[in-house]
Amino acid sequence: MPERRTVALVTLGCARNEVDSEELAGRLEADGWELVEDASDADVAVVNTCGFVDAAKKDSVDALLEANDLKDHGKTQAVVAVGCMAERYGKELAEALPEADGVLGFDDYADISNRLNVILSGGSVEAHTPRDRRKLLPITPAERQAAAEGTALPGHDQAPEDLPDGLAPASGPRAPLRRRMGTSPVASVKLASGCDRRCSFCAIPSFRGSFISRRPSDVLNETRWLAEQGVKEIMLVSENNTSYGKDLGDIRLLESLLPELAGVDGIERVRVSYLQPAEMRPGLIDVLTSTEKVAPYFDLSFQHSAPNVLRAMRRFGDTDRFLELLDQIRSKAPTAGVRSNFIVGFPGETEADVDELERFLTGARLDAIGVFGYSDEEGTEAATYENKLDEDVVAQRLARISQLAEELTHQRADERMGETLRVLVESVDDEDGATGRGAHQAPETDGQVVFTSNQGLTVGRMVEAKVVGTEGVDLVVESLEEAGR
């Protein structure tokens, strides 16, 4: 019997890419591939790339080159690029990076096993020609579900009836196809794909396509399966969760889905990410702040607060409206977690605009703040704008706002002294101690909780703990169970 071919998946970028990698892992294992963690132990290394901004694209290229080096002194025979950068650039990436033995787009995912077999056998798979994926589905959201058949939507595909153990369940309607990579008690669940917004700085809709929701039954089935795998917290991800359900005939579908997800046996916390301020509604705020096991957590994409800059970005709002939204949230959940990202140095941004952003940040009391300096993204409207700022001006403003953000988030952490948190324990180590996250902290982005003692802690437990100190944005806590002893 021939030896099973081995594959390693290297994932870069956001949580949505992590879900896509687990779909690819499910497809490959179902077709007989052996999954390995280390690319040096694999016949083929599949790099799931990010194509969002220049820094992410550079990281993706570096990962591909690093995997290619393994071909000289390891088991690795081929390196294949998938993901957003591969989808966005296709043949252009293949020509610029001959070290990649294959550049596969989203349309190749359904037949990923055959594609890799061809490449490993010395054949070639033609890199796809990029296209505007917004044009693959109807403009009218209500018509998209019926038209989506045959359109590649990573994270939406369903499993065949017979699957090996460890894959998503074959029973039940429209069971998801997914293979967990790792044993973390936290997992992301894709709520939708694509985006209908037309922010002038963002290229994502062009290669991720128009917004289309997954059906609630699919999301629930996947969550139940994840709970059976030991997952305690799920994080709902998409390009814009506030639009969920609009193509299913109910823009308030998220409000009814969240309590159902929170009621899944074994799930201790449900977190919603990627919320658009302009689309927030009172009913959604109510559900996010009052539903047991749903984290009062608001990942709000503000991007700026000066009206002139926001309009140039093709976005809505201003400082006072945003502060009012935060007041509405905190009137219902005073300790709610709030994070956001901001772009400084946008074309036409003035010193007065930066002052206005500082006014907002100072009043917003955000738990986590990401700050990015503007740079042109090809294919975006903003790349064609005049009145671009000099690079040194952008760098100076980036440093200024970043320093303020660091000071403000440290202050916000200090405000949490004495609070009682429900902390999900994520690591326990004799040398490094135990760490976890409270409801106001999302994975990877928002800091963590550090326990004063490991006593009685195990990974996956939800523990009541009191904040007794801070380390920057991180919180130091004492388990109330341990304190009781």
50 is in an annotated binding site: yes
8 A C-beta contact, residue 291 and residue 262: yes
Q: Crossing angle, helix 282-290 and helix 253-262, to 10 degrees?
A: 10
- Would you say 166 is a known binding-site residue? no
Tokens of 166: 């460890």
Query: Which residue, 243, 241, 253, is CA-closest to 215?
Result: 253
**CA–CA separation, 216 vs 286, rounded Å?**
20
Specify the DSSP element, H or E, that contains 260: helix 253-262
Would you say 159 is a known binding-site residue?
no
Which pair of tokens denotes residue 300? 């709000």
Q: Are strands 44-49 and 6-11 parallel, antiparallel or unpaired?
A: parallel
Tokens of 156: 């939406």
Cα angle 13, 60, 42 (rounded to 5 degrees) comes to: 100
C-beta neighbour count of 438 within 10 angstroms: 26
C-alpha–C-alpha distance, residues 358 and 375, integer Å? 21
Dihedral (Cα; 219, 224, 227, 229), 10-degree rounding: -100
> How far lies 69's CA from each of 5, 42, 63, 77, 78, in Å?
20, 13, 10, 10, 10
Cα–Cα distance for residue pair 462/464, rounded to 1 Å: 7
Q: Is 84 annotated as a binding residue?
A: yes
- Tell me the backbone φ, ψ of residue 157, rounded to 5 degrees: -75, 155
Does residue 402 sit in helix, strand or coil?
helix
| Separation between Cα atoms, residue 191 and residue 155, nearest integer Å | 9
What is the DSSP code (8-state) at residue 39? G
Q: With CA atoms as reference, report the closest residue to 344 among 352, 354, 359.
A: 354
Three-state DSSP class for residue 223: helix
Nearest partner of 279 among 195, 183, 212, judged by Cα: 195
N-terminal to C-terminal alpha carbon distance within the chain? 58
Angle, helices 216-228 vs 253-262, to 10°: value is 20
Write out the two tokens for 343: 């772009």
Q: How far is Cα 59 from Cα 42, in angstroms, rounded to an integer? A: 21
Element (H, E) at 483: helix 480-484
Q: Can you say which residues are annotated as belonging to the binding site for [4Fe-4S] cluster?
A: 14, 50, 84, 195, 199, 202
Q: Can you say which residues are annotated as belonging to the binding site?
A: 14, 50, 84, 195, 199, 202
